Amino acid sequence: MFNRVTVFTTMLCAALSSAPNLQAQSDVKNIVLVHGAWADGSGWKGVYDILVRDGFNVSIVQEPETSFQADVTAVKRTLALQDGPSILVAHSYGGAVITEAGAEPSVAGLVYVAAHMPDAGEKESDDGKRFPSDLAKSGAIKKTSDGFTYIDPAQFHELFAADLPGDQAALMARSQVFNFADNFSATITSAAWRTKPSWMVVAGSDRTINPDLERWYAKRAKSHTVEVAGASHSVYVSHPKEVADVIESAARSVSK
């Protein structure tokens, strides 16, 4: 009997020593990036390159911007393809989208990058009135005959991407994804940041969303907050290292 117990104990110890590290298995390595209005996923390239280099599995959602629900569905579709938990990241209008989509069980944390962060029952358009932005007061938001919005290309650089080179801002201005106007007035039904940890990157010189609104959102949600001084609304393009650092910090935090 003693020999049998000894053999069993030896085999058990060997099995445990060769098993995968359980802590490593729990690490969050999936990052899902969500763009905002009048933009597409290509703006995340700098952030994407850093995260991939550092060993993360990164996916970029291309929202159609044809309806708020279609954008939420697009995010959920990408989340469903991930193997394990994810950090969900969004810029600008995308913040409202991930606030709704982030209730998915696979979402471990949310990172808002110069983004809206409405509560349940709120609309992004109403929240924006708390601290009006230069864009909102400029008259630069135009609308097509069928109800889609865009920023006047002549004013795009100064209001959306002032810290980017002129030629880069011009390309972004001329490749805008028109956003259906009603999307900004969608009512949030469930605010994921109420139940999940959140981070906010404040763009210190943002003229598209007032930095004071970003700070207010972050304070209300008790978000971990990092401010990038002098950054435009396109902080995710102009300061990829700072943004990637916040995302990686979020992933480390929820992996503990």
* 145 contact partners, CB below 8 Å, separation of at least 6: none
Secondary structure (3-state) at 47: helix
pLDDT over 90, % of the chain: 89
Mean pLDDT of 15-44: 74
The whole-number average pLDDT for the span 70-99 is 98
Q: Which two tokens stand for residue 106?
A: 């696979």
Distance in angstroms (rounded) separating the CA atoms of residues 59 and 41: 10
CA distance 233 to 203: 6
Angle at which helices 240-255 and 45-53 pack, to 10 degrees? 50
Mention every residue, 6+ apart, whose C-beta is less than 8 A from residue 238.
161, 163, 164, 231, 232
Instruction: Read off the pLDDT of each residue in 183-200 and give the average, rounded to a whole number.
Output: 98
* Neighbouring C-beta atoms of residue 76, cutoff 10 Å: 18
Reduced to 3 states, what is the DSSP secondary structure of residue 200?
strand
pLDDT tens-digit series, residues 134-163: 999 999 999 999 999 999 999 999 999 999
**Mean pLDDT to the nearest integer, 233-256:** 97
Q: Is residue 5's pLDDT more than 70?
A: no
The pLDDT score that the predictor gives to residue 256 is: 79
pLDDT-based confidence at residue 100 (cuts at 50, 70, 90): very high
Nearest-Å Rg of the Cα atoms of the chain is 21
pLDDT tens profile 198-233? 999 999 999 999 999 999 999 999 999 999 999 999
Q: How confident is the model at residue 191 (pLDDT cuts 50, 70, 90)?
A: very high
- pLDDT, tens digit, for every residue of 34-81? 999 999 999 999 999 999 999 999 999 999 999 999 999 999 999 999
Q: What is the mean pLDDT of residues 173-195?
A: 98
Task: Tell me the pLDDT of the chain averaged across its residues.
Answer: 92
Q: Does the pLDDT of residue 9 top 50, yes or no? A: no
Tell whether the model's pLDDT for residue 11 goes beyond 80.
no
What's the average model confidence in pLDDT over 178-184?
98
**Whether the predicted pLDDT of 1 surpasses 60:** no
Max distance between CA atoms of the chain, in angstroms, equals 86
**HSE, side-chain direction, 13 A CA sphere, residue 73:** 7
Better-predicted residue by pLDDT, 6 or 44:
44
Give dist(CA 120, CA 64) in Å, integer: 23
pLDDT number for residue 22: 31
> What is the predicted pLDDT for the residue at 25?
36
